[in-house]
Amino acid sequence: MQSIKYYSTQRISCDLWRKLGELNIKKRVRGSKAGSHKVRPIQRIIGHRGLQKGLSSEIKSVNYNNLVQIKTQPSEAKDTLNTGFFNARSVCNKASELAEFITDNKLDICGISETWLTNEDRDSVICGSITPKHYKLQLSNRKSGKDGGLAVVYKASMKCKKQKVEEFKTFEILELILFNRGDTIRLCIIYKPPKGSKYGGSLTLFREEFQRG
């Protein structure tokens, strides 16, 4: 029969215990016998685990020197303008729709052809209706006849200069110089009436006038 050995914890002397207390290296008591409501909380330390030993040898043998580092370049946000164009065939009966078209699409500039506006006072009300809040309007009305006419609705934050242009027989033109955040924009709206109309003219004459303009 094998002998059974008993091991007992050896107690330390009072002097040694006192010395450990002075050096602040005594073993701390983790819990408390006063109940669960007296238990001191254990501070949690959250970190990232390293590579575990269970990884396959194939993954461990990866040569990271073979990886190619791709240099990324931050994309620069460029200012852009939202533009639109509308062939109205009279803005008199669709002024509110035009204004909604501009605001719903958040347009900075909108060109309009065939406004059918004149220089009469009654058309000033219509001009106000097609110009949304925080926008301005430039017009080039046909001097005779009810058709034709050009307009540009643009953001009021832009400065605008209307340019004097030559009058042509085969097409109408509205030319503007717009200034937007330090940029200068030359905008030309051109409308050529269809063949057979009073102001249509031949295609040959149109090419000659267009090249001259």
Query: Could you report the per-residue pLDDT of 6-58, keeping only the tens digit for each?
Result: 555 667 777 777 777 777 776 665 555 555 556 667 777 776 665 555 555 55
Containing H/E element for 17?
helix 14-22
Q: Mean of the pLDDT values across residues 189-202?
A: 79
pLDDT of residue 5: 55
State residue 50's pLDDT score: 58
Which one, of 197, 194, 195, lies nearest residue 145 by Cα?
197
* Domains of the chain with bracketed CATH: 83-212 (3.60.10.10)
Helix (H, G, I), strand (E, B) or coil at 67: coil
Q: What confidence score (pLDDT) does residue 164 get? A: 94
Per-residue confidence (pLDDT) for residue 18, from 0 to 100: 79
pLDDT tens digits, residue range 122-150? 788 889 999 999 999 999 998 777 789 99
pTM reported for the whole predicted model: 0.61
Q: Which one is predicted more confidently, 88 or 121? A: 88
* 63: pLDDT strictly greater than 80: no
Is 129 in contact with 93 (CB distance < 8 Å)? Answer: no
pLDDT at 147: 80
Question: Is the predicted pLDDT of residue 177 greater than 80, yes or no?
Answer: yes
Residue closest to 209 by CA, chosen among 62, 56, 200, 149: 200
3: pLDDT strictly greater than 60: no
Which one-letter amino acid corresponds to residue 120? E
**Degrees, nearest 5: CA angle 191-193-197:** 165
Average of per-residue pLDDT values in the chain:
81
Does residue 4 surpass a pLDDT of 60? no
